Amino acid sequence: MKWYLSAFISSTVGAIAFGVGYLGISPSVSAQTMIVAQQTAPKTAVQWYNQGVDQLAEADYNGAIKSFSESIQLNPQDPDTYYNRGYAEHILGNYDAAIEDYNQAIALKPQFAYAFGNRCYAFYILKDYQKAIADCSTAIKLDQNYADFYIYRGNAQDDLGNPQTAIADYNQALRLNPKHANAYYNRGLTYNRLNEHNKALADYSKSIEFDSKMADAFFNRGLTYYKLNNTTKAIADLQIAAQLFKTQEKLQYSQKALNLIKEIKTAQKSLPNK
């Protein structure tokens, strides 16, 4: 999911800028059928694979990469193993390595929708928007009912300056999953870009309704309230965002929210009394 963390009130930024946060990439492939082996025998490719899946579940991504690499050494023809290693690399922010593994997964399994979808997201992070759109379009052809593919493609379209096309993708994601907090959030970003701030408010509110811990939705709703001259609600949302960011150990953004609150209050004091 894209983040929207530049302030309206900053003197150095004339409009809200866009950054990259998280989207939530497609899930890893589940464990393969376990082959029973004697304790003294070397691990098989499947056993290494299953160990990697367990490590993914435990968020031990470096360990998972090692296990999947061992599995690939023994069986270099399994697309799921490349996909899962790519997934772990992706989570760690090693996008070029992730793309290489998704390439291998797709070469071995050309109908692998998740591999196309995750490669789309990796290309998006790397700002290769045309490749991202192409991959997500392929993913959608292979699986038309996975909402996140439309969100990824919508984000790429938005950053290419095609907001209406992006909104169409977010709308489709919401038709598939009407409670998708990220779809509402990203559509809200696009409405802000179009200066349709009331629509953005509505979308951030829906995003918060379905994910009450989404700090960036509170942050951006606060900015939007400020843009609409509702400083009371702006400050309230930014306070919630600051606390959520702190709880989530995103201290830089927590401080940013607190700084914005201070700036808003300072600006209020400078206004002439009515």
Q: Which CATH number fits domain 2-199: 3.30.30.60, 1.25.40.10, 1.10.10.60, 3.40.50.1370?
A: 1.25.40.10
Please give the Cα distance from 172 to 215 (Å, whole number). 24
97-145 pLDDT, tens digit per residue, is 999 999 999 999 999 999 999 999 999 999 999 999 999 999 999 999 9
Per-domain residue ranges of the chain: 2-199
Task: Provide the pLDDT for residue 270.
Answer: 75
pTM higher than 0.95, yes or no?
no
> How big is the CA angle at 149 (ends 146 and 154), to the nearest 5 degrees?
135
149-179 pLDDT, tens digit per residue, is 999 999 999 999 999 999 999 999 999 999 9
**SS3 letters across the chain:** CEECCCCCCCCCCCCCCCEECCCCCCCCCCCCCCCCCCCCCCCCHHHHHHHHHHHHHCCCHHHHHHHHHHHHHHCCCCHHHHHHHHHHHHHCCCHHHHHHHHHHHHHHCCCCHHHHHHHHHHHHHCCCHHHHHHHHHHHHHHCCCCHHHHHHHHHHHHHCCCHHHHHHHHHHHHHHCCCCHHHHHHHHHHHHHCCCHHHHHHHHHHHHHHCCCCHHHHHHHHHHHHHCCCHHHHHHHHHHHHHHHHHCCCHHHHHHHHHHHHHHHHHHHCCCCC
Higher-pLDDT residue of 104 and 7 is 104
Binned at pLDDT 50, 70 and 90, residue 28 comes out as: low
Whole-number average pLDDT of the chain: 87
138 burial (CB, 10 Å; 0-12 / 13-18 / 19+) is buried
Please give the Cα distance from 153 to 144 (Å, whole number). 13
182-235 pLDDT, tens digit per residue, is 999 999 999 999 999 999 999 999 999 999 999 999 999 999 999 999 999 999
Binned at pLDDT 50, 70 and 90, residue 21 comes out as: very low
Please give the Cα distance from 31 to 42 (Å, whole number). 19
Per-residue pLDDT for 96 more than 80?
yes
Per-residue pLDDT for 261 more than 80?
yes
